[in-house]
Structure formats: C-alpha cells, structure tokens
C-alpha cells in the first residue's frame, strides 16, 4: 500500500462528506466559476518560476491535512471555506489587502465537480470586491494534477517528520 497517498485519500473522503452535508457557505458548484477566472497548473507553475513575473498571493482554501502534506511554495492556508471558520480565516487574511491584489486560490481536495470549498472562496473574494482573483483549476486532485505533474511543492514540518520511516 502506498502510505504517502493516505492523506489524499482521507481528504477525498472528507470532501465527499462535506459535499453531502449542509455547509455554512452557499453551496455553489466549482463549475459556477467563470472560465476567465481559471488558471491551469502549468501556467501558474510557469509564472512562479519566472523571475520577471509578479507573484500572486496564493491561498489554499481546502483541508489542513492536504496543506500540511504538500502545498505550492509560498501558499498560505486559508480554509476550508465550506465552513464558517474557513471563510472567516480567508476574510481575515485578505482584510488589509488592496482590492487589486492578485490572488490565486486553490483547493485540490477532490475532483473539481465535487469540491465543496473553491466556489465558496471565489464568491467570498468577489463579494469583498477583489478584482484580480484567479482559481487554480485542479481537475482531479492536488496530488495528481500538481504533485505528480512535477510542479514544486513544500511540506509543513509536521507532515515531513511524520513520514520519517
């Protein structure tokens, strides 16, 4: 058994439970996000590698276990936005930012069509007046569409030490 996959499997199970339970935020599907707001993993990774490109604020709006296991370098945990506490954390993080701040949000907990977090985060940022919000389009999950694609990741120290053997 691939023990490294366990956190992703657990997160997918959480995602499915979250999507079937009543949630605090308006339960809009990820498909409600306009295609013009989407950014592909390859394009974001290229932008992050480019010395000339400005770097957006990257916020992971999913489950903590996924963030701890692996996240985009420089990303900050700000979720899960399917819960009031996650939305409050997101709002708190962006409260002092100019509304034109470039922001990229992502979740990656599960297939795009089942994600309980991404649309809620996008809607919250739009409602706050942010004008440069992009959503990382993760079709299957963060492991498959970012990590296994070879894009850069960082792990939280607690997650790194728990996989020592």
The domain that contains 35 carries what CATH number? 3.40.250.10
Quote the domain boundaries for residue 50. 3-162
- The 10s digit of each residue's pLDDT in 148-158 is 999 999 988 65
With a cut of 70, say whether residue 78 has pLDDT above it.
Answer: yes
Higher per-residue confidence, 112 vs 162: 112
Q: Are 57 and 106 in contact (CB under 8 A)?
A: no
Q: Which two tokens stand for residue 155?
A: 């792990």
Q: Output the pLDDT for position 28.
A: 85
Q: Are 113 and 141 in contact (CB under 8 A)?
A: no
Q: Output the pLDDT for position 4.
A: 53
Q: Output the pLDDT for position 16.
A: 44
Q: In the chain, how many domains are there? A: 1
Stated pTM of the model: 0.81
Q: Output the pLDDT for position 157.
A: 65
Nearest residue to 93 via CA among 110, 81, 111, 82: 81
CA trace torsion 37, 20, 79, 69 (10° rounding):
-100
Sign of CA dihedral 77, 96, 127, 83: positive
Q: Output the pLDDT for position 25.
A: 44
Q: What one-character DSSP code corresponds to residue 3? A: G
Q: Output the pLDDT for position 152.
A: 94
Cα angle, residue 152 at apex, residues 119 and 64 outer, rounded to 5°: 45
Cα angle, residue 88 at apex, residues 72 and 44 outer, rounded to 5°: 20
Q: Output the pLDDT for position 35.
A: 95
Least-confidence region, from 26-35, 65-74, 117-126: 26-35
Residue 69: pLDDT band with limits 50, 70, 90: very high
Q: Output the pLDDT for position 13.
A: 47
Q: Output the pLDDT for position 161.
A: 42
- The 10s digit of each residue's pLDDT in 102-153 is 999 999 998 999 999 999 999 999 999 999 999 999 999 999 999 999 999 9
Cα 164 to the center of its chain, rounded Å? 26
Give the number of other CB atoms < 10 A from CB of residue 125: 24
């Amino acid at each position: 058994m691939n023990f490294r996959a366990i956190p992703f499997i657990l997160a997918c199970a959480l995602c499915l439970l979250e999507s079937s339970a009543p949630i605090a935020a308006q339960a809009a599907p990820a498909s409600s996000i306009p295609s013009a707001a989407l950014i592909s993993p390859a394009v974001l990774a290229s932008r992050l590698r480019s010395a000339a490109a400005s770097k957006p604020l990257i916020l992971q709006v999913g489950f903590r276990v996924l963030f701890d296991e692996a996240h985009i370098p420089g990303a900050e945990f700000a979720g899960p936005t399917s819960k009031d506490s996650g939305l409050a954390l997101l709002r708190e993080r962006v409260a002092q930012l100019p509304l034109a701040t470039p922001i990229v949000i992502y979740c990656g907990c599960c297939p795009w069509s089942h994600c309980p977090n991404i649309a809620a985060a996008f809607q919250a940022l739009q409602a706050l007046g942010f004008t440069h919000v992009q959503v990382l389009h993760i079709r299957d999950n963060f492991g498959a569409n970012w990590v296994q694609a070879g894009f850069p990741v960082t792990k939280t120290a607690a997650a790194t030490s728990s996989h020592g053997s």
